[in-house]
Chains A and B, each alone.
Chain A
């Protein structure tokens, strides 16, 4: 069973006061997310990521299409007991303490009364928020609020978690912790769907990603496929401070850094390059195919989208 099946969800807002005109926020979106994976939903600001999440959460109503979450219709309120959601830049009832807030959310999520206190405590520990008893949320820093946001999303042990820009507002330590937490959720068999515009996070975490731009899906696939060696190039690294003429003759792009030399050349010239290094008695350290980074793929998709839009207009 798929965790999420988005079947042509679309959203058009009417903007303007007197003369309403349509503004497309999301074109028909078709997407499937399998259970137990970390799925990255990528796109620049204003691409339609948050709109998609709001439609899935029932916070806004689609103009068309439907979705299935954990095998059930996405509008079924009971589905929501199985999902967790962290909104972008979350804001909480600041008159409450962290314990009170999580207890309230646990009540609304149907966590049994006798389990609540222990569940709240364990979740706060999981997100690294301890020693905050009696402190109202209005005194929390942005990073602490983000942690509370993550805590409320996983508090009721959901099978599927939606995070909207989970790293936003976190320092490098916090970002690392969130990444670890997401991997932990995956290991526990949960599905994580997260939107981000930070590509390094997606590349490090995701099994699959989708790229959305101006409300339209522009790319979709497994990270390995999207970052595969499409260029047919290899990277050689050897110990040394100079580039032999025989390597230069192969047309390699070389870069000397300290005691290391890095060269990029065509895959077809791999054997000739290794022979050249042997002849020069240089120690080969690494030979790897050059992979397209997710960023390169992402930028290429966006550039193509812009070009297509330019031609159409």
Chain B
């Protein structure tokens, strides 16, 4: 990686840590501990199912919220506070700044997910007292969640490059919600005709298909994950994030800083 990108990424990571973003881990730990203790008292049959479902869903939601709330301010906040002036007046290209910010935020989320994953496995061990080979599927689910974060980070940066933080948050949350129902949207498109079909199909393929990344339920039921899905999701996330990031770079390259 270009060293300037690495420096910007590292500063973004440090800023997130010092702004106490990782404090969300406390909330996550509390939810998971409470769930593990509670389900342990309800049933011994479904306790593992509940812990995996709840744990991975919490990992995903906490991460998405962080990705959106930090991502939307990454560029606009720097323009607003004019911290960007002293960065871009150095031999730093505008695209390096955007890419550095992206890696910094993604890195923050990966570290956050790592600690949450420890929590999920700890809760799992607490309720089932042992690990089985099928538990390794949780790693794939976590990998898919990280791929979701990669897409959301890129989208948040894209919105942040031309919009206000509030609007960016609205856009990013909307895209996340619609993307989570992308399969349903495609099903709806198939049932309609004419202009509506054209519109629904366009929307279904334009928003990121987050439903393809959600394997939490099947992992909880110890169903195997097809290898081609891993490859497909990896390429899809890479392509989608690269496209969104390119859009952010293009917009930012021509933006006059106020």
Contact = CB atoms under 8 A, between A and B. Distances in A.
* Top 6 closest pairs, chain A to chain B, by CB: A85-B89, A95-B18, A60-B256, A87-B85, A107-B7, A59-B257
A90 interface: yes
Contacts of A156: 90
B93 interface: yes
A92 B93 CA distance: 19
B83 A91 contact: yes
Nearest to A92: B83
B82 A91 contact: yes
Nearest to B79: A59
B92 interface: yes
A80 B97 CA distance: 15
B81 A108 contact: no
> SS class of chain A's interface: helix, strand, loop or mixed?
mixed
Interface residues of A, number: 32
A91 B89 CA distance: 14
Contacts of B14: 95-96, 100
A61 interface: yes
A54 interface: yes
Contacts of B8: 108
A121 B86 CA distance: 19
B11 A58 contact: no
Given A61-B254, A95-B14, A109 B7 contact: no
B86 A105 contact: yes
A58 B89 contact: yes
B176 to A, nearest CB: 27
29 contacts: A13-B256, A57-B85, A57-B88, A59-B256, A59-B257, A60-B256, A77-B93, A78-B91, A80-B92, A81-B90, A85-B86, A85-B89, A87-B82, A87-B85, A87-B89, A90-B82, A90-B86, A91-B82, A93-B11, A93-B83, A95-B18, A96-B14, A104-B7, A107-B7, A108-B8, A108-B90, A109-B90, A109-B91, A162-B89
B47 to A, nearest CB: 41
Interface in A256-291: none
The range of chain B's interface size is 20 to 34
A108 B4 contact: yes
A108 B85 contact: no
B83 A59 contact: no
Nearest to A164: B85
Nearest to A57: B89
Given A83-B89, A105-B86, A109-B90, A93 B15 contact: yes
A195 interface: no
A80 B86 contact: no
A40 to B, nearest CB: 20
A85 B8 CA distance: 19
B17 to A, nearest CB: 9
